[in-house]
Structure formats: C-alpha cells, structure tokens
A and B are shown apart, each in its own frame.
Chain A
C-alpha cells in the first residue's frame, strides 16, 4: 500500500458513456498527477495539480476532464472516449515542494484503473 487509492480498478465503457475515475491520497501531499500507460508505450503524464491548481496539461484531448476539489482527491471525468483511449490510468501524489533548496519530490503511485473502451 502506497497511501494512494484509485477506484474503480477496472472499467469497461462504450464510446457514448460518461464515467469518472477517482484518486485519493492519504499522505498529506499537495501535488497530484494523472498518467496514461498504453501497451508498448512509455508512461505519459497527462495532468499535474499543485495545491489544487492545474499546473500542467500535456496536450490532452478535451474528452478527458480533470477535477481537483482538494489536495486529497483527484478525478478524471471521461466522455465520448475512443477505443485507443483504452489503457491503464495511474494517479500519483507528491509533497509538492518547490525547486528551491534542490528538493526532490518522490511520486507515490496508486494501483491504476484499467480502462477498456468498446
């Protein structure tokens, strides 16, 4: 257990459905991340939230809509997805410290949601 939980663990949806992925961290962190892991591709960063503010959107299509209501929760709202969006979606969190002082910010990952789009 890393202190980061994700629900659901598995999700099958049609292209016209609307669903949401949920991530919760119990580590007192201030930064949260969404990653996409597709077969035979490197892990891709999608979004970064720092102190509830979105600080990174890595050119993600608008059919993926993130929401961060507080530092402990992160959602990924899905609508009109395509079959190529099928992947493992991983959430991570970190302390969210700044670069001053040379600090590092280890990311702790959740177990992921395996999404299949039919």
Chain B
C-alpha cells in the first residue's frame, strides 16, 4: 500500500527566502507525482505534475524534482512571497485503471512580510 509523507508539517520563513518542501513515498512504482496548493477553506490547485520518466518540472518560481528510485520529491520555491502562504500537498498516482491519487498530509507554509 502506497504511503506518502511530507516533511516538515509546518514551515515559517521571512519573505524573499528560498525554501524546499519534501515528499517521500514508499512504493517507487509510480505513474506520476503532483504537487498541489490548498488555500484555507478552498479546494486544491494543481501546481506541477512530474511523469515517472521525468526528473523535474518548472513553473515560474517553482521547481519540482523527482527521484523515483529513492522515493523522493522536492518542491523548491524561489524568492518566497506572502502570497505563497498555503498548504502544499504532494500526491502520487500509482497507476492502475483509475486515477487514484495517494496524498500526503501536507506542509503548511507561512511567508512573513
């Protein structure tokens, strides 16, 4: 059974700092891995999706990497801004006929002005 762990559970940084969020998964036979953002009281917004054959994906100030063999992914946020404050969720698609995502508990990020 796939399990996804995210470290740290919470992170508080000053504005402008570069930061890394970590995600690990127990079964390396994955189809893809996604990072989502969730603002308080709202649903999830997909940020980046990395296919199992890829090593990284970039979107603006965000860069996600994937090391499938070691069961790890990182989300790098450059030059953080207060608007980046949210919960960041990692989810793994382990394949199969259904698009069944296994989520981590998330990292609550607070960027202080």
Contact = CB atoms under 8 A, between A and B. Distances in A.
Contact of A4 (B43, B97, B100, B106): B43
A52 interface: no
Interface stretch (A11-19, A37-45, A62-70): A37-45
Contacts of A99: 95, 97
A56 to B, nearest CB: 5
Contact of B49 (A41, A106, A114): A106
24 contacts: A2-B43, A41-B105, A42-B4, A42-B106, A43-B44, A43-B101, A48-B99, A55-B97, A55-B98, A56-B100, A90-B43, A90-B44, A92-B44, A94-B99, A99-B95, A104-B32, A104-B51, A105-B99, A106-B34, A107-B99, A109-B36, A109-B45, A111-B43, A112-B43
Contacts, number: 62
Q: Interface size for chain B: under 10, 10 to 19, 20 to 34, or 35 or more residues? A: 20 to 34
B61 interface: no
Interface of B: 4, 32, 34, 36, 41-46, 49, 51, 89, 91, 93, 95, 97-106
Nearest to A2: B43
B15 to A, nearest CB: 27
